[in-house]
A and B are shown apart, each in its own frame.
Chain A
Amino acid sequence: MKRSLAAMVAVFSLVASACSSSATTAPPATASPLASAPASASVPSPVASTNGMDCAGGKQATITFWHTYNTDGPETKQLDDVIIPAFERYCPNIKVNAVVQPATGMHDQLVTAVAGGAVPDLMRMDIIWTPEFAKLGALAEVDTLPGFGQIKSELFPGPLATNAYQGKYYGVPLDTNTTVMIYNPKLLATPPTTMDELKADVIAANGTNKWGLGLGGDGSWNLFPWIWSLGGQITNADYTKASGYLDSPQTVAALQWLIDLNKTGGLGPSTLGGKPDSWGGFQGSNYSMINDGPWFFPAVGSAMGAKPAVIPTGPGGSIGVVGGENLVIFKTSPNQDADWAFAKFMLSDEAQEDMAAVGQMPVTNSASASKAMTSVAYYGPYVQQLKTAMPRPVTPAWTKMDTILTNAFDAALRGKESATQALHDAAAQIDPVLSQ
């Protein structure tokens, strides 16, 4: 996905884009009757089965909402022109001041804002930062807010889990996503369904300036689906220990498989941050396949006739990585009622489906089953993948872990260290960080 600035991206653990996956089964068939109703009609239900929109008791309030929706795509426009006006029609007493933030350096800016006491009321925050800021004490607990219990039952568990810290919830999921295989039908007739098939396809595609698979980088975001699908693990279930999991024989084998794939010459240079990058290579027909999220289609993919497919099955199954954003309320916000009202609206079918139209996958069962989702051709494999996708370790120490892991993967892929050595060292470095 990135160019040679992939390193910069890795350092700041950008790669926001939602990813989310939840371990739920198919969403329930009961959809809200208002699910596909346009903005005009009656008051929408916050989520499928709840009723009524409480507008913070009618109190006047202006709330500041930070987000990182893109501005050269349709996302911010959708928020500003469709969703917020709809909300303000329902709750004329609440004014939403949405401020778009540059995605680069967002984490640092947030740290400064928190330390300086200049945070907004609420924010669309990358899921990987939520535990960290919860630990800092910057976020408000939401499980005590009215109606949380009901909403909880409507949400995908995976994305919801990324809001948890020490048994409490500090936000609600807003959008989710994952990555799947995207292939160019002109270069590859049928996509591989198993890892062995993938390897064969990659080797077959190898040629001058042609590669079978171009990953977006070698960080956690890009490699976790492979590691998991190939049978590896990162930590134990409650994210407290890496040794024995990260350096287990299965994980080493998984990483080794990738190293071997790279040695065949069929793994594109984008994997190691080189050119062409994944998007450019796909567009230039250098890469037959890439791994990326649904945003690829409105931007580049649809125009090229690209098609998505779930990740090939390996010894561990076909497991993707959850991404996405949460909606968090800051503890210092003086308008928590109004914030919560807006949050609930963002989780309503109406808002979720409006966002689905611009590439933001919903986090509620009802919205996922709605026409807005099912009518879009490329969403199918994503929703499928989300059923089994796993989140990156939900811990405040994630940022540090990410750097250690990325260094290890990079060293191993470049042949500077053996897979065993790299993973063993990484696990040794991660354990103390997790226990803090």
Chain B
Amino acid sequence: MAVKPTLIGRPSRADAVVGRRDRARALSELRTALPFMLPGLVLVLVFVVYPLVRGLQMSLYHWNLVAPSQSQFVGLDNYVRALTQDPVFWTAVRNTVLYAVITVPAQMAIGLGSALLLNAAIRGRAFFRALFYLPVVTSWLVVSYVFAYLFSDGPGPVNALLVNTLHILPAPIDWVHDSFASAEVPINLLGIWKGIGWNMVIFLAALQSIPVQLVEAASVDGAGPWQRFRYIVLPLLRPAILFVSVMLLIGAFNVFISVYLLTGGGPQGSTEVWLSYMWNQAFSYLDFGYGTAVGLLMGLSVIAIGLTQRRMLRGSAEN
């Protein structure tokens, strides 16, 4: 679209000529751009957007699985039900928010700390980086099973460590089955452990892009390490921090496989998260309309958070 001032009243002849030229340019720009952007756009529209829209449609019905045309339209009832009549829904929301609040700052802090350490280390940087990044490149399926094993009841490795070696616990805990609190430990620890490497890599890159002279000038001026960090490094890390926090937050809200495989939402539905609850409603209770509504509510929340943070990111980039 050519940008041109809109005129009130009839455009003059000169304007018409300018308009034609702008339109011609716009058209030729579009023609150039089409082969580049169209395949992606088409794929997204057909395979991502269309199913999402259909999902939205499903959420407005009491969806009939085998005979969809016979589904009963219920409008926003599914949403009302989730928000006002379903305590398990709010448990799922609570658990998801809890997971985000615990894992996101923890990952970032430990990731940043590790990056600082690695930045100061001269030798073996690639080696450590690889080891820290290992959990990130392993699939959720595999690490969930491994954590299930680690946190097994009785002589599981974690219990053995806490009871026999460190003597912190008097007796082994059945982490995954005992209670909401005990089950959340492996779930959250897994989330933190898996993401540290990703954070570290990004922060490390950010740290390495800070000009050395800036830091040294500060130390010549007499600034101690903490002051250097707080007033020079941290502000320069701000874009990275904001980016990371947005991505991590979205990722945290999308937690599913680890909960699904570790606890299945138990004990007694106390560890359900948003997506696992959606899954249960859809596949175990065959209530796809409701399940989709639950999922869409999550999508809306994530969009709200994501867009807000993005605005903050834009704001800081302009500084």
Contacts and interface: CB of A to CB of B under 8 A. Distances in A.
Instruction: Report which residue of A5, A269, A400 has the largest number of chain B beta carbons within 10 angstroms of its beta carbon.
Output: A5
Nearest to A402: B284
Contact of A10 (B66, B152, B174, B264): B264
Given A7-B267, A11-B280, A115-B66, A275 B261 contact: no
Nearest to B173: A274
Instruction: Report which residue of B145, B154, B262, B263 has the largest number of chain A beta carbons within 10 angstroms of its beta carbon.
Output: B154
A115 B65 contact: yes
10 contacts: A4-B148, A4-B152, A8-B260, A8-B263, A115-B288, A136-B65, A269-B154, A269-B174, A274-B174, A407-B268
A399 B280 CA distance: 11
- Interface magnitude class on chain A: 20 to 34
A403 interface: yes
B264 A7 contact: yes
A272 interface: yes
B268 A410 contact: yes
A410 B269 CA distance: 12
B67 interface: yes
B174 A7 contact: no
Nearest to B280: A11
B177 interface: yes
A270 to B, nearest CB: 9
Interface in A1-31: 3-8, 10-12
A408 to B, nearest CB: 9
Interface stretch (A48-56, A106-114, A287-295, A319-327): A106-114
B287 to A, nearest CB: 10
Interface residues of B, number: 34
B153 A4 contact: yes
Chain A facing B: main interface SS: helix
Nearest to A117: B66
Interface of B: 65-67, 145, 148-149, 151-156, 174-178, 260-269, 279-280, 283-286, 288
A4 B174 contact: yes
Given A7-B267, A11-B264, A275-B152, A111 B286 contact: yes
A11 B118 CA distance: 43
A5 B261 contact: yes
Nearest to B284: A399
B7 to A, nearest CB: 54
A108 B282 CA distance: 9
Contact of B66 (A3, A107, A114): A114
Contacts of B174: 4, 269, 272-274
B177 A11 contact: no
B283 A111 contact: yes
Contacts of A272: 153, 174, 177
Contacts of A407: 268-269
B154 A274 contact: yes
B66 A137 contact: yes
A328 interface: no
A11 B268 CA distance: 10
A273 B151 CA distance: 12
Nearest to A408: B268
Instruction: Report which residue of B151, B174, B279, B280 has the largest number of chain A beta carbons within 10 angstroms of its beta carbon.
Output: B174
A183 B121 CA distance: 59
Given A136-B66, A275-B152, A108 B283 contact: yes
Given A274-B153, A411-B268, 6 more contacts: A8-B261, A12-B284, A108-B283, A111-B286, A273-B176, A275-B153
